Structure 1
């Protein structure tokens, strides 16, 4: 295999690091290794990384907090590892930005398959949608960050500044579920204080402008009980 992607593996268990290193190197990937979240953030600041395998339970900075910090600036795939197997733990990991969740002990071959799947999906989507630094393209929806304009099926849609900010926030965090409090705090730049209806009203108006059928949206999906997301395809 001639893969050249760089993978950052983050785990405080040396045996797990070594096991993943053997299999990933055998597949041709470049590797970076960290033993906790703080070390991982430092490596990310100095290196280009295509995918992260991130353990949940670690000293200094755990995987949950590290994932949240990474998602503030990066959108590469994140696969979380955890000894916890309860559905609520998986939902928690996925809701804060992880793309996949693998329970320890794991089959290394299954992990390799998940790594390849996430990289294929990420690379295919980015080649299709990242037209320029100023544009985000998702199917027939084009968001121009420089001019603050939005077109759907080549027709310009007039959005308010708040509507544009919500749409842009969801688009740059594609495939990540954002809670209503997260959306409110990012867009309104103030603490979330039971402002659920405010966000819902803006999402409804946004859908009326960009969706063919707001009752069956293509772009902005509702994840019941958690929040909203925009999907890759």
Structure 2
């Protein structure tokens, strides 16, 4: 079954251009010109990726992202003509996985979207492998548990001392990668390559923001993710 992409863009011509690129690559495409329509389509269909413009009629992209994140960790790429770095960070704080500024090259956007979809697919396949008894995740079967934090790969859920922790796709990938490499310092560059799989155009604040989100959601367990000055991060079990 083909992956489905929801394109939320109020500029019809631009939306059609993006749509054609994804259709030509074999994706199913849903399209919306405003935020309310986007939410309705998301609730009615199974979607593997959302391309979400910020400046939308009816309901802006920030609000759409915030509402979707209440129930889903589907990968989201924000699209915007605004280049303010604070806007980028706000998008990540709300749960966006990537951020593309206009004007952009549709082939580049397609490549970044494919990376996110493939990353999610690889995670799902690894989880299925773990669930069948092949330990490909550094844990026992379907789960990896350290210091009270348990990752369930098949369901892509996380608990801390038994309480659910709601993470986005990117946040889940970051936490899993750090826990799978417990005690090893992971550089920001390694995280970027692992999570996005391409030469990312942002700066260190992008990774810092995602890490801050993960720590906030982990509550008392936040201290387990240690900052290594001028290098990156590591997960330290047993602190």
TM-score, with normalisation over the residues of structure 2? 0.63
Superposed CA deviations along residues 144-202 of structure 1, whole A, max 9, x for unmatched, are 8xxxx9744xxxx668x963326x33488514836489739xxxxxxxxxxxxxx3x44
Q: Is the 8 A contact 2:53 2:61 kept in 1?
A: yes
Pair 1:183 & 2:201 matched? no
d(CA) in 2 for partners of 1:89 and 1:162? Answer: 30
Structure 1 runs (4+) deviating above 6 angstroms are none
Residue number in structure 1 paired with 2:234: 216
Aligned Cα RMSD in Å?
3.5
Q: Is the 8 A contact 1:143 1:151 kept in 2?
A: no
Q: Distance in 2 between matches of 1:171 and 1:65?
A: 16
- Aligned equivalents of 1:37 and 1:171: distance in 2? 20
Once the two structures are TM-superposed, the CA of residue 143 in structure 1 deviates from its matched residue by 10
For the 8 Å contact 1:150–1:158, the answer to whether it is kept is no
SS in 2 for 1:75: coil
Matched, 1:129 2:148: no
Give, in whole Å, the separation in 2 of the partners of 1:129 and 1:100. Answer: 23
Query: Which residue of structure 2 lines up, in the alignment, with residue 203 of structure 1?
Result: 222
Instruction: Measure the CA separation in 2 of the matches of 1:123 and 1:34.
Output: 25
Unpaired runs of 5+ in structure 2? 150-158, 175-209, 227-232
TM-score by length of 1: 0.65
Query: What aligned pairs does 1:38-117 form with structure 2 within 5 A after superposition?
Result: 38-117=36-115
Q: Aligned residue for 2:188?
A: none
Partner SS for 1:54:
strand
CA distance, structure 2, for counterparts of residue 28 and residue 13 of structure 1: 23
Number of positions where the alignment pairs a residue of Structure 1 with one of Structure 2:
182
Superposed displacement of residue 37, structure 1: 1.6
Cα offset, 1:25, TM superposition: 1.1
Distance, in Å, in 2 between the alignment partners of 1:132 and 1:39 is 38
| Residue 27 (structure 1) aligns with | 25
